[in-house]
Amino acid sequence: MRELVISKRARHESVSRKMIRAMAKQMSATVSDSRDEELSVSAGWLNRFLRRNNFTCRRQLLPRRMPENSQRSWREFKKCNMARGCLCCLKYMMFIFNLIFWLCGCGLLGVGIWLSVSQGSFATFSPSFPSLSAANMVIFIGAIVMVTGFLGCLGAIKENKCLLLSFFIVLLIILLAELILLILFFVYTDKVSENAKQDLKDGLALYNSENNIGLRNAWNIIQAEWKCCGVIAYTDWHEALKEKVVPDRCCQEHYQNCGRNSTNMFWNRGCFEKVEEWLDDNKHMLGTIGMVILVVQLLGMAFSMTLFHHIHRTGKKYDA
């Protein structure tokens, strides 16, 4: 009788063990790859249940090694997280960069307005281009920098495809304009130089006019700082002012009305020659600045297109 009870209990344990294993196999077959974590929890619970009820088995129901498709899904998930993290970092880097860019534009615009209102120390030297003053140039550059920085900043933080594309187009137009102007300058260097000299000479005649105080201040500062006189030589003032006088800042020993004394010593070199000499001495620095501006523009275009294509490909915003 006792042997019969033991035999029935053994058969019962065997049937229970087979049922539990069948349930685990069915669960492993039906649960998708996206629910591997739930499968792990369920199989672990079954293993603990077997141990608690003294059911011995040769190996765990859940294999220690993840299935090949689960490993592939996990690798793809990690790659997706890495790509998302890189793009999120790129997004905020672009935002911070364009925010600084926008603040610089605001500063330039403010300086330009201040120069324009107060008629600061610098004005136009050219009567042919009266609007080409230092104040107007600073205002124009500041406005472009502000608009460009605003488009990039808002487009990056809002992940807006229209703003990112506009930012890219504006940078592309600016880059093409810079390249065209640079090519024209090198092709027509001599002609540009001669026209600039003649235009500056014509502007000397406006030195004593009451409504050109900015031009007068500009010439005084340049002649005093660079120790030059006139465009080519101090005799340019004789032709412009119709008398043999020069501004007092042309005198090597400066005092009031020293320019009306022809026996005084004036600076012999013209200011145009001084400008050319300064450009030649600082050509490496200017070239470096130009390369930095070019690299910044190219990076801005590349970053904006990267974000644009990512948003276009996913069709929705990614979580930051």
How far apart, in whole angstroms, are the C-alpha atoms of residue 141 and residue 80?
41
Mean pLDDT of 237-265: 84
Coil, strand or helix at 266: strand
Q: What is the pLDDT averaged over residues 97-122? A: 80
Please state which of the ranges 15-19, 74-78, 267-271, 276-280 shows the lowest mean pLDDT: 74-78
Per the listing, tokens 């030649």 go with 280
pLDDT band, residue 196 (cuts 50/70/90): confident
How far apart CA 263 and CA 49 sit, in angstroms, is 115
The mean pLDDT of the chain is: 76
Q: What is the length of the chain?
A: 320
For the entire predicted model, the pTM comes to 0.65
Q: Which amino acid is at 60?
A: Q
Lowest mean pLDDT among 12-16, 65-69, 90-94, 193-197: 65-69
Q: What percent of the chain has pLDDT over 70?
A: 66
Long-range contacts of the stretch 167-174 (C-beta < 8 A, 24+): 167/300, 167/304, 168/301, 168/304, 168/305, 168/308, 171/297, 171/300, 171/301, 171/304, 172/301, 174/144, 174/148, 174/297
Average pLDDT over residues 17-28: 59
Percent of the chain with pLDDT over 90: 16
